[in-house]
Amino acid sequence: MSFKIISIDGPTGVGKSTIARQLATKLDCLYVDTGAMFR
């Protein structure tokens, strides 16, 4: 089984999380907020 990983990076406040959630919904994928893991 192979997995594809999409990583979105950028400065604070540009909408990374919003776009990532929308993309995950559209592609029927898992959304993982790694920033929350490290806080």
- pLDDT tens digits for 3-25? 889 999 999 999 999 999 999 99
- Give just the sign of the alpha carbon dihedral 2, 4, 34, 32: negative
- Give just the sign of the alpha carbon dihedral 11, 32, 8, 23: negative
Q: Which of the pair, 15 or 35, is modelled with greater confidence?
A: 15
Domains identified in the chain, total number: 1
Considering only CA atoms, give the Rg of the chain: 11
Distance (Å, whole) CA 3 – CA 21? 18
Q: Is residue 7 part of a domain?
A: no
Q: Is residue 8 part of a domain?
A: no
Q: What is the mean pLDDT of residues 25-33?
A: 94
Q: Is the pLDDT of residue 26 over 80?
A: yes
Q: Is residue 9 part of a domain?
A: no
Domain that holds residue 18: 14-39
Distance (Å, whole) CA 1 – CA 39? 31
Q: Is residue 35 part of a domain?
A: yes
Q: Is residue 39 part of a domain?
A: yes
